[in-house]
Structure 1
Amino acid sequence: MKKTHYLRCDLLRGLHSLNFLIAILGSFATMVIIAKTQVRFPTDVIYIYDGIRMTRMALLTLAFSAIPYASCFCDDFNDRYIYVSLIRGNIKKYVWSKVLSVFFSAWLAMFIGMLIFFCVAGLRYPWVSQDNAFSQMLIGNYSPICFLVESAMRESLLGGVLAICAAYGSLFLKNRLFVYTFPIMMYYFVINYVEKWLQLPDWCVLYRIYGAFYEVWDKEWQDFLYAVLMTILFMVFFGCLIHRKIEREIRGGNE
């Protein structure tokens, strides 16, 4: 396998699969179920979306971020495909191809699933009701459609980060069920324990960084760019950890 084939092959494995479709439909269906069962007196799409994000069940959408490709290391090690992949390549390119593919497939699945939900909800409800001052306050001076698209992009970044984190966890426990539930466990642990124990400032709190209805800085575009920056830093951090762990695995397997 040539070095230049890594990313293309990984993207094909992550996007051209049944798991990718399951992740999209799962994200969409979860939001529909929450909207039907948890959101009272829906008036517009913005209000429904805010109501969904206020429930604990909303964490379930994060589980689907790991489905497309976060289990790639489980497959490669169990089938010993990783050793074949590295014959004509190197660990560094292999790892970063996986990191990018895991992130992009998770981000895209969540993003598409949320967009489908917004479109379906928009067929029945207005984007923002003129009679609902609360919804108008949430979006401020922004167009409701632009706000929803930006929110979906920003929130899906978190799904991508958690998928990479799950991929890293799979190097220690190569079990698909563990990989699929890891994003929820990790997010819940961080926001309920780590952030509270350390009393982190707002600019370090995950739900403020990636939550559409929270602000870290003064402008919405600043919050979005900050979320992108933090995502890149998380990707580099976990990518380095994955690279180090796989190097040790390969050395141990060859000894």
Structure 2
Amino acid sequence: MVRMLKSDILRIILSYRLPIGIIATSFILILSLLEERNINIDVLYAFEIIMYGIPAMLILIAGAYGYADSIYLDIKNNYYRSQLMHVGLHRYIFSKVISVFVSSTMIITLGITLFAVIMHLFVPWCDDESMTYYVASNYSCFKFFLNNHHYILFFLLSGFRYGLLSGILSVLSAYVSLFAKNRMIVFAFPFIGRYLCDLITMFLTSKYTLYDIFWEQHVGWKSPAFTIFILIGLAVSIVFLIGGLMMRKIERDYIG
């Protein structure tokens, strides 16, 4: 299992898809600012306004581009049969699920951080007098880094938090690939899937959507480390639940 996971992770690291996904994430976010007419824009303000719009949805596609179609390609090329013979179904799914989740999280985390760094070449990190800064510095779960001027860490952790959501949706896309035999659907599913997941979580919690949990800066705990710990635990639990559904689907349709 460890050997297969190392092989999958190595495929991700050496693949052209990882840098393309990171660059695409930054490009989408920067491109979305072309319509922004505010000459007093800063990185924090720009980040806040675009992450509440369509660009935040589009970068989920870049996250899925990393590895979400891996199971689809294995099945299409009949490569999955030899994999199942060598490692078994449980280890195969475990490796794929972890790899898809990690690649998507990395793409969004590094893509958002790269966006912030590029923006800072032209505009300041933040405006201490703005309402955006006031809200973030008082209510964000990562306000410690903002108030202590650790701006790159602030955007890195914010990107990681949204990356966890992207990772969940990419794993869900991998599950969808067992039903929809089309790579475009696999890559595009996170765009639609976020709305579906929001509806489900809102129904279950009556208060928060999945987007609120993994993005809203005021949703969290006073300790950034504890917030990240809880979110990782929640994300991993959801991902393994989806992995269990994948195993049932493959056992029924591709093995049994």
Provide TM-score, normalisation by structure 1: 0.88
8 Å CA contact 2:63, 2:104 repeated in 1: yes
- 1:226 matched to 2:230: yes
1:104-138 Cα offsets, whole Å, 9 max, x none, are 11111111111110101112222222232431331
Helix, strand or coil for the counterpart of 2:67?
coil
8 Å CA contact 2:22, 2:110 repeated in 1: yes
For residues 229 and 39 of structure 1, the distance between their equivalents in structure 2, rounded to whole angstroms, comes to 40
Report the Cα offset of residue 7 of structure 1: 0.7
1:146-170 Cα offsets, whole Å, 9 max, x none, are 3222101111111111110000000
The residue aligned with 1:62 is 60
The residue aligned with 1:159 is 166
The residue aligned with 1:15 is 13
**Which has the higher mean CA deviation after the structures are superposed, 216-225 or 153-162?**
216-225
Helix, strand or coil for the counterpart of 1:125?
coil
**Which has the higher mean CA deviation after the structures are superposed, 78-87 or 162-171?**
78-87
Q: Structure 2 vs 1, CA of residues 100 and 39 (structure 1 numbering), >3 Å: closer, same or farther? A: farther
Report the Cα offset of residue 243 of structure 1: 1.4
The residue aligned with 1:200 is 205
Q: Which amino acid aligns with 1:211?
A: W
Residues 77-88 of structure 1 aligned to structure 2 (within 5 Å): 77-88=75-86
Number of residue equivalences = 247
1:181-205 Cα offsets, whole Å, 9 max, x none, are 00111102333x4355x27344x42
Report the Cα offset of residue 51 of structure 1: 0.9
**Which has the higher mean CA deviation after the structures are superposed, 134-143 or 15-24?**
134-143
Q: Which amino acid aligns with 1:109?
A: I
In structure 1, the gaps of 5 or more residues are none
The residue aligned with 1:112 is 110
For residues 248 and 51 of structure 2, the distance between their equivalents in structure 1, rounded to whole angstroms, comes to 36
For residues 135 and 253 of structure 2, the distance between their equivalents in structure 1, rounded to whole angstroms, comes to 52
Q: Which amino acid aligns with 2:145?
A: S
Helix, strand or coil for the counterpart of 2:21?
helix
RMSD: 2.0
Helix, strand or coil for the counterpart of 1:131?
coil
For residues 210 and 75 of structure 1, the distance between their equivalents in structure 2, rounded to whole angstroms, comes to 29
8 Å CA contact 2:194, 2:211 repeated in 1: no
In structure 2, the gaps of 5 or more residues are none
Pick one of 208, 214, 239 that aligns with 1:210.
214
8 Å CA contact 1:23, 1:67 repeated in 2: yes
The residue aligned with 2:192 is 185
1:207-239 Cα offsets, whole Å, 9 max, x none, are 211114332445544433332121011111111
Q: Which amino acid aligns with 1:86?
A: L
For residues 193 and 79 of structure 2, the distance between their equivalents in structure 1, rounded to whole angstroms, comes to 28
For residues 218 and 200 of structure 2, the distance between their equivalents in structure 1, rounded to whole angstroms, comes to 19
Q: Structure 2 vs 1, CA of residues 205 and 35 (structure 1 numbering), >3 Å: closer, same or farther? A: same
For residues 40 and 195 of structure 1, the distance between their equivalents in structure 2, rounded to whole angstroms, comes to 35
Identity %: 26
For residues 86 and 61 of structure 2, the distance between their equivalents in structure 1, rounded to whole angstroms, comes to 34
8 Å CA contact 1:38, 1:52 repeated in 2: no
The residue aligned with 1:92 is 90
The residue aligned with 1:169 is 176
8 Å CA contact 1:39, 1:52 repeated in 2: no
Residues 117-136 of structure 1 aligned to structure 2 (within 5 Å): 117-136=115-134
For residues 243 and 199 of structure 1, the distance between their equivalents in structure 2, rounded to whole angstroms, comes to 25
Pick one of 124, 139, 149 that aligns with 2:156.
149
Provide TM-score, normalisation by structure 2: 0.88
For residues 163 and 199 of structure 1, the distance between their equivalents in structure 2, rounded to whole angstroms, comes to 22
8 Å CA contact 1:103, 1:160 repeated in 2: yes
